[in-house]
Chain A
Amino acid sequence: MTLLITVFAAITCTVVWYVKAPADKMRLGTLSLMYWGASVMWLVDAVFEYIEQKDAFFAPEPADMLNDAFLGLSAVALGLVIWLAIVLIKDPKGVLKAALTHKSE
């Protein structure tokens, strides 16, 4: 479930990045690469789990599925928070810089 939610987040970000390309002022490319990196890592984890559990891997308990879904959504939220921090620090549109310099004047 975590893998599935992260893959959907990665696909969504990539589609938005592609629509906006070649402009990438908001660093959507960075966000989508973050999600793709996590998706690949969780895919490898899932493969190892499948080797260990065999068919039981595809029949998880409802409580485990719900927990994994919460984890997936939380991971996507954390990714967005990291991306937001990068955007605010880099300030590609100069909005923060303008606001801060305007305030100090």
Chain B
Amino acid sequence: MACFLVPAGEAIVTTIVTKVIESREKAVLAKLPDSEAETAASHKPAISSKMKWLNNMLWGGSALLMFEHIWHGEVVPWFPFLTAAADPADTAEMLSEMSTVGVSMALAVTGVWAVMAAVSSVIEKRKTDDSEKTESESAA
């Protein structure tokens, strides 16, 4: 009925959070000397770039699901935009669906992203450890 509104709401929040993190990362990089900033920027993907993965999944998924709701006549281009919002009984059902299916969708996407980010962090750590090991071996 309107389950896509929950991940869409999450997408708005994560997009704002990403912008804030991005500006902070830029501020930190700006304070570093040029050589160190280049190394820091090239060494590992910033948190903001990982947050962008979540944003893309949430925005893309919500857009395609909104299209599905338009297809089924549940979203209309006139007020109140959701056909279920016109009738109190349908509204209650819609809210119930949002709190079950919608919340589950948002949690599932966030869960998949969390696994992706964790795996990426492990790979980055291994890469850093390997390069440090090679450097120490060549120094010895």
Contact = CB atoms under 8 A, between A and B. Distances in A.
B68 A2 contact: yes
B56 A37 contact: yes
7 contacts: A34-B61, A37-B60, A40-B105, A41-B108, A48-B101, A78-B63, A82-B60
B61 A44 contact: no
B121 to A, nearest CB: 18
A72 B43 CA distance: 39
Contact of B71 (A38, A47, A74, A79): A74
Contact of A74 (B7, B59, B62, B67): B67
Interface string A6-37: 10000000000000000000000110011111
Contacts of B101: 44-45, 48
Size class of the B contact interface (CB-based, 8 Å) = 20 to 34
B109 A37 contact: yes
A87 interface: no
Contact of A75 (B62, B68, B100): B68
Interface residues of A, number: 25
A38 B60 contact: yes
Contacts of B67: 74-75, 78
B65 A41 contact: yes
A71 B61 contact: no
B68 A34 contact: no
Given A44-B108, A74-B67, A78-B67, A37 B58 contact: yes
Contact of B7 (A35, A41, A43): A41
B105 A45 contact: yes
